[in-house]
């Protein structure tokens, strides 16, 4: 096979791995309880990139067949993290500083009802109440939104009418809950040839049948949204993913910032781009994003990657500092 053929074949494998309905992963084995995951700190190299600074990066691994595929990341009230996967699993773990002898305390368990068809368990986005007592999950394969308490009890789910026409393999990909109770849900997109992706602003909880207004989100060329997190002032930081044609395929990531106050029904949500990630940051398929304020000003960004359960990919956890230029200049915080 010619070199171009190999590249196309490799890219096809990745695209199949990203598709939630791929036949290669329709059977989900029984869940395995784990008490820790292996953690390995990786060198940083070039850590600065304008407003962004790479603080640390770690590779997480486990022999459990249920480990991996993490597509959403939430900060919990106790300072720990909750990562959700495309097999419907939830991984609870503390800050990497709590690792000992290469092991990080963790618990991997089903996020509510365990399903055995991947398209019904493909969690791609998550949100929570301000006190962390309520959780909302967005399932891409079925375009459902599920609400439950933090123990996965009292679960209810709906397929919002406005999301029912979204494709199963490129549906709900990013979600955020605004402080006033509204929700934003962004789809991955109808096709890579279409620059805009569908997006919805719900007037209330989607599970309660909140009315929605449709708008568009148009990321930079070659990119698609993979997650979204809110700043304290309710602006949205949106994580984007791209795939470069190479052998093996290479993932690229970018961040854009947008204000929900500017969303207009039927309009195109405007955004501006943050600096590119530092060169020392490992390239991976980052799909989970969390933003936390720093006491010294600015924000801490945490990212987790979806390894697609591919031999050439890894589950990466990355910590960055983001100090917007306005803050470094002594002006008001964003």
Indicate if the pLDDT at residue 265 is higher than 80. Answer: yes
Is 295 a domain residue? no
Q: pLDDT digit string (tens) for 207-221? A: 999 899 999 999 999
For residue 23, what pLDDT band results from cuts at 50, 70 and 90? Answer: very low
How confident is the model at residue 287, as a pLDDT?
97
**Short-list 60, 98, 61, CA closest to 79:** 98
Using CA atoms in the order 209, 18, 152, 174, what is the torsion angle rounded to 10 degrees?
-40
Query: Three-class SS of residue 251?
Result: strand
* Residue 57: strand pairing partners: 318
Strands 183-187 and 286-293, by their bridges, are unpaired
Other Cβ atoms closer than 10 A to 179: 10
Indicate if the pLDDT at residue 255 is higher than 60. Answer: yes
In total, how many domains does the chain have? 1
**Short-list 53, 55, 57, CA closest to 39:** 57
d(C-alpha 313, C-alpha 309), whole Å:
7
Eight-class DSSP state of 3: H
Is 89 a domain residue? yes
Q: pLDDT digit string (tens) for 143-159? A: 999 999 999 999 999 99
Is 311 a domain residue? no
Average pLDDT value over all residues in the chain: 87
Is 48 a domain residue? no
Which CATH number covers residue 165?
A: 2.120.10
∠ CA 282-28-247, nearest 5°, is 35
Q: pLDDT digit string (tens) for 88-110? A: 999 999 999 999 999 999 999 99
Is 296 a domain residue? no
Q: pLDDT digit string (tens) for 219-232? A: 999 899 999 999 99
Is 47 a domain residue? no
* Residue 93: strand pairing partners: 81
Indicate if the pLDDT at residue 17 is higher than 90. Answer: no
- DSSP structure string for 28-51: -PPP---SEEEEEE----S-EETT
Token pair listed for 78: 């106790």
What is the enclosing helix (H) or strand (E) of 255? strand 250-258
Is 46 a domain residue? no
- pTM recorded for the entire structure: 0.87
Is 316 a domain residue? no
pLDDT-above-70 percentage for the chain: 84
Q: Hunting for tokens 């990212």 — which residue is that?
A: 303
* Residue-range definition of the domain harbouring residue 141: 3-34+69-274
Eight-class DSSP state of 35: S
Q: Which residue has the higher pLDDT, 320 or 170?
A: 320
């Amino acid at each position: 096979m010619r070199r171009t053929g190999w590249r196309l074949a490799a890219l096809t494998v990745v695209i199949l791995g990203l598709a939630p309905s791929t036949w290669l992963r329709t059977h989900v084995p029984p869940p395995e309880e784990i008490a820790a995951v292996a953690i390995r700190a990786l060198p940083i190299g070039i850590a600065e990139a304008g407003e962004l600074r790479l603080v640390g990066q770690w590779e997480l691994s486990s022999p459990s067949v249920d480990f991996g595929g993490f597509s959403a990341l939430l900060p919990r009230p106790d300072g720990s993290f909750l990562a959700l996967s495309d097999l419907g699993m939830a991984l609870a773990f503390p800050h990497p500083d709590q690792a000992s002898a290469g092991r990080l305390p963790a618990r991997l368990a089903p996020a509510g009802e365990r399903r055995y068809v991947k398209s019904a368990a493909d969690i791609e986005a998550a949100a929570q109440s301000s006190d962390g007592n309520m959780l909302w999950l967005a399932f891409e394969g079925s375009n459902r939104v599920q609400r439950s308490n933090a123990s996965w009890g009292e679960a209810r789910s709906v397929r919002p009418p406005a999301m029912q026409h979204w494709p199963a393999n490129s549906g709900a990909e990013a979600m955020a809950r605004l402080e006033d109770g509204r929700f934003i849900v962004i789809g991955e997109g109808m096709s890579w040839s279409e620059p805009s992706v569908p997006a919805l602003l719900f007037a209330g909880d989607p599970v309660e049948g909140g009315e929605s207004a449709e708008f568009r989100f148009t990321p930079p060329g070659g990119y698609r949204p993979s997650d979204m997190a809110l700043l304290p002032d309710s602006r949205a930081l949106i994580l984007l993913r791209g795939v470069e044609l190479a052998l093996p395929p290479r993932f690229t990531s970018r961040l854009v910032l947008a204000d929900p106050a500017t969303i207009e029904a039927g309009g195109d949500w405007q955004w501006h781009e943050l600096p590119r990630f530092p060169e020392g940051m490992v390239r991976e398929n980052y799909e989970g994003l969390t933003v936390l304020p720093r006491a010294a000003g600015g924000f801490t960004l945490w990212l987790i990657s979806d390894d697609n359960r591919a031999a050439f990919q890894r589950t990466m956890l990355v910590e960055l500092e983001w100090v917007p230029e306005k803050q470094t200049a002594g002006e008001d915080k964003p």
